[in-house]
Amino acid sequence: MEAFADPSYPREKVISEVTAKSKSLRLMFPLYTTRKCLECHGDPKGEMDRTGYAREGLRLGQNAGAISVVIPIRP
């Protein structure tokens, strides 16, 4: 996740790793904020959005998380 937060990290790049312990392949796809995201998650930070939750103060294009997919590896 830290890699996705680095502004110089290529937006189209996916992180992948093979875990020996769980014998699986993990892929992580970054999620970056769009204008639509900011309707609820943008400024002003702390103000309630339309669903009653506090806005996070995120900015356009900011990393907001990732989708993680784990695929079991079978011999």
Higher pLDDT, 37 or 9: 37
**Across 42-68, average pLDDT:** 94
pLDDT of residue 38: 96
pLDDT of residue 23: 87
pTM for the whole structure = 0.71
Q: How far is CA 26 from the centre of its chain?
A: 15
Residue 35: both structure tokens together? 């204008």
Residue-wise pLDDT for 12-50, tens only, equals 888 888 887 778 998 999 999 999 999 999 999 999 999
The pLDDT-based confidence of 9 (bands split at 50, 70, 90) is: confident
Q: How far apart are CA 47 and CA 64, in angstroms?
A: 18
